[in-house]
Amino acid sequence: MKPEVLMVAGARPNFMKIAPVASAMRGDGRLRGTILHTGQHYDREMSELFFEQLAIPEPEIRLGVGSASHALQTAEIMTRIEPVLLERKPAAVLVVGDVNSTIASALVAVKLGIPVAHVEAGLRSFDRTMPEEINRVLTDAISTWLFVTERSGLEHLATEGIAADKVHFTGNVMIDTLMRCREQAAKVDAPRKMGLTPKGYALMTLHRPSNVDEGSRLNAMLDPIRELGKSMPVIFPVHPRTRKILEGLSEGASDTIRMCEPLGYVEFLGLMSQAKLVLTDSGGIQEETTVLGVPCVTLRDNTERPVTLIEGTNHLAGTAPDGIRETIRRALTVPAEPRSPELWDGRAAERIVDVLASDLLEVGA
């Protein structure tokens, strides 16, 4: 019997990371990969649509936890995953990224003596007010395999005293998915369907609690974007968290910003590829725009992905309106080219599966 690796996915940014790993596991053939969906995200356009577009196999287990406070959501995932792990006794649990599903599953697994593999380990914003930063630090501390996307991760893990033999620099699985889906995105041609001119519009996403949870702050941040909207269309697929707050604002996003529902992966990738400018507070989008060669203005004070600033097309704007205004101006004048940070070559998932299969089969032998 092949060793089972239980892969946990819960929230939207997890799905594009799990997809290439599941596919590489099938291709490699030495391990049996199964998928567990925690249900942290549950709206069709935040979850099922991604499974369909990325051809991710149907999850064998669904925990159906839904939304709640951090404590309740984390506790609910832990409570529901424990009996699953006790019954199946997988050889390893694989978690991705930095969401509540990541730390909750890792914590339960490790206490049951099941080793944890963390994909996208070592990233640090050094901002402990971000829930994701807490999830990253804790997940890395208890993982057996730490798969790193960029060299900064190697330094951070060494500083935190993680043994070097647990750490593997394997590249970026999110870029594996991007490379696989580029052609399909070009065919679907979302910009044309939305009546947009290639390189003639901006695309924005915003959902970080620190940016969107307080209406007055969000409103101030949107000012420079409303101004940008007077010179080019600004497309804004709105995360459910952000929508709730926007509904309470008297101005809304304004006439110059074109709001829509969250988009599927393929449509969003198509829009990103042809955008003149991307504005975001997401982590993954900073990486994707670097590979696509599209200028990215990150609406945050820090980033856990410094390679996108040093080698890529990313510009850190902060969150003050004047800083955002100035950074948009700069990003529109500096030329941007597609960049390939080390090992962002579309084969990260294969390398991850190779390490896991070699180690797990050695243990079993």
**Please, which residue, 76 or 98, has the CB nearer to ligand UD1?**
98
**Please, which residue, 46 or 249, has the CB nearer to ligand UD1?**
46
**Please, which residue, 138 or 332, has the CB nearer to ligand UD1?**
138
Q: Rounded CA gap, 115 and 96, in Å? A: 14
Q: Find the shortest distance in angstroms from Cβ 56 to ligand UD1.
A: 16
**Please, which residue, 39 or 153, has the CB nearer to ligand UD1?**
39
Q: Rounded CA gap, 304 and 343, in Å? A: 18
Q: Active-site positions?
A: 207
Question: Which region, left, alpha or beta, applies to residue 117 given φ > 0 means left and ψ of -120 to 50 means alpha?
Answer: beta
Q: Find the shortest distance in angstroms from Cβ 90 to ligand UD1.
A: 22
Q: Find the shortest distance in angstroms from Cβ 209 to ligand UD1.
A: 6
Q: Find the shortest distance in angstroms from Cβ 12 to ligand UD1.
A: 4
Instruction: Give yes or no for a contact between 357 and 28, defined as CB atoms under 8 angstroms apart.
Output: yes
User: Residue length, the chain?
Assistant: 365
In the complex, the residues that contact ligand UD1 under the rule CB under 6 A are 11-13, 40-43, 46, 67, 98-100, 131-132, 207, 239-241
Q: Find the shortest distance in angstroms from Cβ 66 to ligand UD1.
A: 8
